[in-house]
Homo-oligomer: A and B are copies of this chain.
Amino acid sequence: MSAERLIYLPLGGAGEIGMNCYVYGYGREDEERLIVVDLGVAFPDMDGSPGVDLIFPDIAWLEARRDRIEAVFITHAHEDHVGATGHLWSRLRVPVHARKFTAAVARRKMDEQGQDPEEVRIASPWPAQIEAGPFKVGFAPISHSIPESSALVIDCPAGRLVHTGDFKRDATPLVGEPFDPALWAEIARPGVKALICDSTNVFTDTEGRSEAVVGPAIQELVVAAPGMVVATTFASNLARVRTLAEAGQAAGRSVVLLGRAMRRMVTEAVEAGVLVDFPKTMPPEDAAKIPRENLMLIVTGSQGERRAASAQLARGKYLGLEMKEGDLFLFSSKTIPGNERGVLNIINAFSEMGVDVVDDSSGRYHVSGHANRPDLKAMHEITAPQFLIPMHGEHRHLREHVKLGTETGIAGVLAPNGTMVDLSGNAPRVAGYVDTGRTYLDGSVQIGALDGIVRERIRLALNGHLVITLIIDEEDEPLGEPWCEVKGLPEKGRSKAPLSEVIEEELGQFLGRADDDLLVDDDKLTEALRRVARNTANSEIGRKPEVTVVISRLS
């Protein structure tokens, strides 16, 4: 008879910063009752996922065990933790628990996808606990950059787990509850079996700074600016949005929120009562009447996103507003790796307009929302866990965080996505590997990252596309000439004649020589035409395109 066991299984977030989704289970092997922490998204890029709208963790493993899932818990309202709730919920159909503001965001996401918002239930903070099968789960307030961020205290018969969610050690976070070492000491008193811990900033050696330090620096900058001031940060970084708005207000400027996500996030937070005394804002349509030196815009697009407000302003007018020489643009944000080129393109566009751009390179106008290396160490020490499981990081972060644990004598487990860890014994043990991956939201359809669909699009982008059509008559003879259409290829090559004509000519000659066996076999004929077309293209333009052959038979 197998004993009961406690398992941990990351499906997303332990291999990337984003797309968080973690599973805990307790019970007999393969009968464990399960809870899910976070249903987040990651964002696509042109390199690896062109045309994709959003990226979700692959939850096939969970879906197949739906009857064993008790509930989903959402730690906070950032997209990489809550963003997939509406899209994935119908595949799980279990209650979702979150604190009030997070629940408001999750409910909107449910509503947008046609799901019942009431499936999201509002949780009270620690010391309240929610029973979920063998688990009792508490939302323990922890400082981050959005209100109501919570670590989860997860109790089960095998002991207590602390799942930090995203956090920093900040005594004055401006929004949300301050980091409270006494609370964590209290929570740790019964003993912590495992600390499952944010790894984002494990490579940053200096102690983290409080959100409160950037306000005065930003205010100084805004006061000194002669023209309009425009500042960008993540809309969901409500701490910073507040800091920016207060700096604008203190400088006597009218504050305008630009960009749908920015306006919506602030509205939701105000409505949820977690953003009290937020400075009065002015609608964008009224701003054009105000002298520009009295304006402070807070805009979306800190990562250079093409459709966000900052990119629109870099291209010209946006909602009647326009940047001019002498204005100031502030990136109160860190550029996420992969987004550098997009951000720099915006900076150069502003430079052409004569706008002064200030970024975070001085360290004065941005602080991270995540715990740095010394803060992680402090968290290890306060909670004194038996095991450390780094999460919320790329592989390099997880590996480094395990090393950090080793320095302080805590047994660490390197558990990337799909690694099932058995936490029951005195040492953590890898109990198996689960197939994991990524699900793409492609238009309105969920597809697997490895289905080949996006790979096919990438090949079209790299190689271009030739379409060849051929009609075969009732006597199995070509009717007329083959036809060639080109997409994304140079019009002319080596022989200075149109590429499509050169290929048609070669295909025509090939068909003239082709024997009857070939002409009756669609597969062989398709392959032969493809080969001729690719070789001709290669000799003409030095490139072998993707080829689609359409043979229409009149018989």
Contacts and interface: CB of A to CB of B under 8 A. Distances in A.
Nearest to A546: B487
A465 B460 contact: yes
A485 B352 contact: no
A447 B348 contact: no
A78 to B, nearest CB: 21
Interface string A341-361: 110100110011000010001
A344 B336 CA distance: 12
Given A456-B487, A460-B457, A444 B399 contact: no
Contact of A552 (B463, B469, B543): B469
Contacts of A490: 442-443, 445, 447, 451, 453
A540 to B, nearest CB: 8
A348 B338 CA distance: 14
A154 to B, nearest CB: 28
Interface in A507-547: 538, 541-543, 546
B340 A485 contact: no
A47 B340 CA distance: 12
Interface in A448-494: 451, 453-454, 456-458, 460-465, 467, 469, 471, 479-480, 483, 485, 487-494
A394 interface: yes
A554 interface: yes
Contacts of A95: none
Contact of A443 (B460, B469, B543, B550): B543
Interface in A422-450: 442-445, 447
A460 to B, nearest CB: 4
A194 B273 CA distance: 62
A341 B348 contact: no
B483 A552 contact: yes
Contacts of A352: 395, 416
A538 B445 CA distance: 11
Q: What range describes how many residues of A lie at the interface?
A: 35 or more
- Give the dominant DSSP class at A's interface: mixed
A1 interface: no
A530 to B, nearest CB: 13
A338 B340 contact: yes
A441 to B, nearest CB: 9
A326 interface: no
A115 interface: no
A550 B483 contact: yes
Contacts of A190: none
Nearest to A338: B341
B543 A442 contact: yes
Nearest to A51: B462
A461 B469 contact: no
Interface string A73-85: 0000000000000
A396 interface: yes
A535 to B, nearest CB: 13
A341 B47 contact: yes
A480 B464 CA distance: 30
Contacts of A357: 396
A548 interface: yes
Nearest to A442: B490
A462 to B, nearest CB: 4
Contacts of A471: 471, 552, 554
A50 interface: yes
A444 B539 CA distance: 9
A61 interface: no
A493 B446 CA distance: 9
Nearest to A337: B340
Contacts of A50: 46, 458, 461-462
A463 B51 contact: yes
20 contacts: A15-B348, A45-B341, A46-B458, A338-B340, A348-B395, A351-B399, A443-B538, A443-B541, A445-B542, A453-B488, A453-B489, A457-B464, A458-B461, A460-B465, A460-B488, A465-B465, A465-B487, A467-B550, A469-B550, A483-B552
What are the 5 A-B residue pairs with the smallest beta carbon separation, nearest first?
Answer: A444-B542, A443-B542, A443-B543, A461-B461, A457-B488
